[in-house]
Amino acid sequence: MSGLGPREASRSDAAPPVTANGLVMAFGGIKAVNGMSLTLRRGELLGLIGPNGAGKTTLFNVIAGALKPTAGTVCISGIDVSGHGPETRISHGLGRTFQIPKPFAQMTVLENVLTGAQNQAGERLFSNFLRPGLVAAQEKASIEKARALLDFVTLSALENEPARVLSGGQRKLLELARILMADPTVILLDEPAAGVNPALLEFIITRIVELNQQGKSILVIEHNMDMVTRLCSRVVVMAAGSLLTEGTPDEVTRNPAVIEAYLGDQP
């Protein structure tokens, strides 16, 4: 599948967790991403803002390997993964959540988290027959880890419920637990607090801060500027597929070009 070596063997700790260079993503005649470059620094909690349709989610899709860009490159921790798909990028430490989470509705909450586990021996053909002990031990460890992550996102009480019973905010938390199963060093969060109630918003903020304090580098798309201001010391602003400006939350919100880009978004 991947020609790249294991994450630990090949990663350069000095390199930025994400470097995106000259990315273009065209859908027919529309360039949803149009020459966008961005660097997420190690240990950083970087904000990505911009009006609706600016290309933020499309940029995430290109960085995560879900979309193959028309032009440009993506490096994860110094490794050029441009020619590789999402699985390789996950194996190099990248985790991403979706703007609209779509859990496996009929599977339980715990089973959904377990789908985030990487490199399970049981997934390989015949392992169940040849090395049943290894598979059983891995499954036990994975279940323990999934339970700890459900505890981290306060969904433990719901572990045996089907995911369809979860609220929108709980689905966002479930997704966070699922990507944490793969021990990402770099996390892309697409509007983690959109549509959640104020209490849950506060909880999500504390968890994002905690993950960052654990050493994870985080790029977060968010429209809630109060949240961005509390979380991020640096913010990148996209408009019409390109970089408009970057700076502190205070700098970018005072920038007339940013205000104009948002006003142009009004109906």
- Residues lying near Mg ion in the complex (CB under 5 A): 56-57, 99
- Residues 47 to 86 in contact with ligand ATP, rule: CB under 6 A: 50, 52-58
Burial, 257: exposed, middle or buried (Cβ in 10 Å; 0-12, 13-18, 19+)? exposed
Output the CA torsion sign for 241, 247, 251, 256: negative
- 159 neighbors 108 (Cβ within 8 angstroms): yes
Tokens of 167: 């609220």
| Partners of residue 140 on adjacent β-strands | none
Strand 234-239, strand 242-247: pairing:
antiparallel
Q: Please, what is the minimum distance in Å from the beta carbon of residue 114 to Mg ion? A: 27
> How far apart, in whole angstroms, are the C-alpha atoms of residue 147 and residue 107?
15
Amino acid at 142: S
String marking each residue 83-122 x if it binds ligand ATP according to CB under 6 A:
----------------x-----------------------
Residue placing its CB nearer to Mg ion in the complex, 44 or 191: 191
- 55 phi-psi bin (left φ>0, alpha ψ -120 to 50, beta other): left
Q: Please, what is the minimum distance in Å from the beta carbon of residue 138 to ligand ATP? A: 36
Q: Please, what is the minimum distance in Å from the beta carbon of residue 159 to ligand ATP? A: 30
CB atoms within 10 A of CB 135: 18
From the list Mg ion, ligand ATP, none, pick the one residue 52 interacts with, judged by a Cβ distance below 5 to 8 Å according to partner type. Answer: ligand ATP
Contacts of 226 (CB under 8 A, 6+ apart): none
Q: Please, what is the minimum distance in Å from the beta carbon of residue 228 to Mg ion? A: 15
Output the CA torsion sign for 212, 55, 88, 38: negative
Q: Please, what is the minimum distance in Å from the beta carbon of residue 153 to ligand ATP? A: 23
Tokens of 158: 């719901």
Q: Which of 4, 20, 23, 32 binds ligand ATP (CB under 6 A)?
A: 32
Residue placing its CB nearer to ligand ATP in the complex, 32 or 211: 32
From the list Mg ion, ligand ATP, none, pick the one residue 53 interacts with, judged by a Cβ distance below 5 to 8 Å according to partner type. Answer: ligand ATP
Q: Which stretch binds ligand ATP (CB under 6 A): 25-33, 105-113, 164-172, 257-265?
A: 25-33
Q: Please, what is the minimum distance in Å from the beta carbon of residue 99 to ligand ATP? A: 6
* Contact call for residue 249 and ligand ATP (CB under 6 A): no
Residue placing its CB nearer to ligand ATP in the complex, 135 or 237: 237
String marking each residue 128-167 x if it binds ligand ATP according to CB under 6 A:
----------------------------------------
Contacts of 167 (CB under 8 A, 6+ apart): none
Q: Please, what is the minimum distance in Å from the beta carbon of residue 125 to Mg ion? A: 38
Q: Angle 168-180/132-152 helices, nearest 10 degrees?
A: 140
Which residues of this protein are in contact with ligand ATP, per CB under 6 A? 27, 30, 32, 50, 52-58, 99
